C-alpha cells in the first residue's frame, strides 16, 4: 500500500509511527498547507515527497490510500475529493461536523466501493474488545444499565501544553473555528466506546452542554471560547439498556481516562483506559452474590492502522466505517438539539428535526 498522509499536525505523527511498523506499507508523500511543517514532518518520518495542496497530490496520483489527519472541518471536502480520485481513506474522527456532511461522505464511499474507515482509536483497546465479546456471548445477561465517561484535564493542567497560548488547543474551544466542543471532539469516542462495548446503538438521548468562563469576555485573540467544555447525557439503547454518559475537559486529576461500566441481570463488566494502560474487571457467576470483582486478561488486538492496511490489501471495508461514524454523528447532532429544546429526542427523528428547523428559519 502506497500511503499519503494528509495533514502533518500532532496526531499525524502517531499515524506515521504506526504505519511505519506495518509490513507492505510505504509512506510516499505528505500534504500540508504549511510547507515548512510538511518538510519537517517528511524528514522526521523518511517521506520523500511533499505537497502543499491536495489538488497537486491528486494530480500526481502515485498513491493507493490516504490517512486524513486534517482538522475536523476539512474532513468533508478533502475526503470527497479523495474518493472521487479513487483512493481508499482512513479518516480521523469526527467524520464531519454534522450528520448531513458525514452521511454524504458515507454515501460517496459506499457508491465507490473503496475501503473507508474512521480512526476511532479506542477500538484498539483490547479490554473493550473482550468486554464486547462477553456481552454478545450473554455472559452478563441482558444489559440493563451502563455508565461511560471520558475525562480530560487539559483546561486545568499544562501536562499537554498551555491551552491558553497554543492554537492546537484554542481552536477546540471555538465554534467559529469548526469545533463542536468536547461533545464533538471526544463525545464521538465515548459514544463509540459505550455502544461498541454494550453491543447496541443509542436510540433516545437527552444532553446538557456547558461552556465555562475561561478568559475575559471568553475570548483569546481570534478565538471565541464558546464551545462546550463539559456534557452530561442520558441515553436509552436499542437493546433496552439505560445509560449515563459524560465527558469534560475540567476533570482535574484525569489526564485522559475512558471508563465503561456495563451492568447486566447476570453479571457486570468494567473497562478502564488511561495513558498508563487499560484493564478489564468482571463480576460474574457466583461472584455476583457478594459483588466480587476479578481482573480478566484481554490479550491483544490489531490496531486500526493494521486493520486498514489489511482491508486495502483485501479490497474489503471493515468497521468502523464511514456509515458507523455518520450514525454516531447523528446522535451528537440530536444531543445538541436536546440542549436547545430541553427535551429528550429519538435519534431516528434527527433528519426531521433538521428539516423542521430549516422551515422555521433555525
Per-residue pLDDT in tens (0 to 9) along the chain, 362 residues: 999 999 998 899 999 999 999 999 999 999 999 999 999 999 999 999 999 999 999 999 999 999 999 988 899 999 999 999 999 999 999 999 999 999 999 999 999 999 999 999 999 999 999 999 999 999 999 999 999 999 999 999 999 899 999 988 999 999 998 889 999 999 999 999 999 999 999 999 999 999 999 999 999 999 999 999 999 999 999 999 999 999 999 999 999 999 999 999 999 999 999 999 999 999 999 999 999 999 999 999 999 999 999 999 999 999 999 999 999 999 999 999 999 998 889 998 765 545 555 544 44
Cell of 105: 461522505
* Helix (H), strand (E) at residue 132: helix 126-136
Report DSSP state, residue 259: E
Across the beta sheet with 230-237, the strand order is 294-296, 277-283, 268-274, 256-264, 143-152, 242-248, 230-237, 202-210, 345-346
**Inter-residue contact 86 to 66 (CB < 8 Å):** no
Global confidence as pTM = 0.90
**Cα–Cα distance measured from residue 260 to residue 247, given in angstroms and rounded to the nearest whole number:** 12
Q: List phi, psi (to 5°) of 89.
A: -135, 130
**Cα–Cα distance measured from residue 76 to residue 337, given in angstroms and rounded to the nearest whole number:** 22
Of 183, 162, 185, 178, the closest CA to residue 223 belongs to: 178
The Cα-based distances of 33 to 56, 247, 248 in angstroms read 11, 32, 31
Across the beta sheet with 26-31, the strand order is 49-51, 26-31, 2-6, 65-68, 88-92, 116-119
**Cα–Cα distance measured from residue 196 to residue 361, given in angstroms and rounded to the nearest whole number:** 36
Report DSSP state, residue 280: E
The four Cα atoms 8, 14, 20, 23 give a dihedral, to 10 degrees, of: -130
Amino acid at each position: 500500500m502506497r500511503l499519503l498522509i494528509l495533514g502533518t499536525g500532532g496526531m499525524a505523527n502517531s499515524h506515521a509511527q504506526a504505519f511505519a511498523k506495518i509490513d507492505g506499507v510505504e509512506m510516499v508523500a505528505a500534504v500540508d498547507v504549511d510547507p515548512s511543517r510538511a518538510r519537517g514532518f517528511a524528514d522526521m518520518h523518511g517521506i520523500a515527497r511533499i505537497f502543499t495542496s491536495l489538488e497537486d497530490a491528486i494530480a500526481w496520483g502515485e498513491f493507493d490510500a490516504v490517512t486524513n489527519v486534517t482538522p475536523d472541518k476539512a474532513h468533508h471536502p478533502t475526503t470527497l475529493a479523495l474518493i472521487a480520485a479513487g483512493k481508499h481513506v482512513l479518516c480521523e474522527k469526527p467524520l464531519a461536523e454534522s450528520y448531513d456532511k458525514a452521511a454524504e461522505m458515507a454515501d460517496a464511499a459506499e457508491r465507490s466501493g473503496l475501503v473507508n474507515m474512521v480512526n476511532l482509536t479506542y477500538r484498539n483497546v483490547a479490554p473493550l474488545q473482550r468486554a464486547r465479546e462477553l456481552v454478545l456471548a450473554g455472559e452478563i445477561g441482558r444489559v440493563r444499565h451502563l455508565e461511560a465517561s471520558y475525562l480530560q484535564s487539559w483546561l486545568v493542567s499544562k501536562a499537554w501544553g498551555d491551552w491558553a497560548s497554543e492554537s492546537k488547543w484554542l481552536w477546540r474551544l471555538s465554534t467559529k473555528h469548526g469545533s463542536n466542543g468536547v461533545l464533538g471532539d471526544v463525545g464521538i469516542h465515548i459514544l463509540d466506546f459505550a455502544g461498541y462495548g454494550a453491543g447496541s446503538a443509542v436510540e433516545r438521548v437527552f444532553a446538557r452542554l456547558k461552556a465555562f468562563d475561561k478568559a475575559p469576555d471568553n475570548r483569546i485573540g481570534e478565538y471565541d471560547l464558546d464551545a462546550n467544555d463539559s456534557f452530561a447525557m442520558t441515553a436509552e439503547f436499542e437493546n433496552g439498556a439505560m445509560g449515563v454518559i459524560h465527558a469534560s475537559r475540567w476533570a482535574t486529576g484525569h489526564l485522559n481516562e475512558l471508563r465503561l461500566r456495563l451492568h447486566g441481570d447476570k453479571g457486570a463488566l468494567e473497562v478502564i483506559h488511561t495513558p498508563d494502560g487499560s484493564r478489564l474487571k468482571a463480576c460474574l457467576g457466583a461472584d455476583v452474590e457478594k459483588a466480587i470483582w476479578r481482573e480478566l486478561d484481554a490479550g491483544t488486538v490489531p490496531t486500526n492502522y493494521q486493520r486498514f492496511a489489511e482491508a486495502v490489501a483485501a479490497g474489503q471495508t471493515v468497521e468502523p466505517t464511514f456509515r458507523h461514524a455518520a450514525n454516531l454523528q447523528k446522535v451528537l447532532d440530536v444531543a445538541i438539539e436536546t440542549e436547545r429544546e430541553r427535551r429528550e429526542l429519538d435519534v431516528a427523528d434527527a433528519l426531521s428535526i433538521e428539516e423542521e428547523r430549516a422551515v422555521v428559519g433555525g
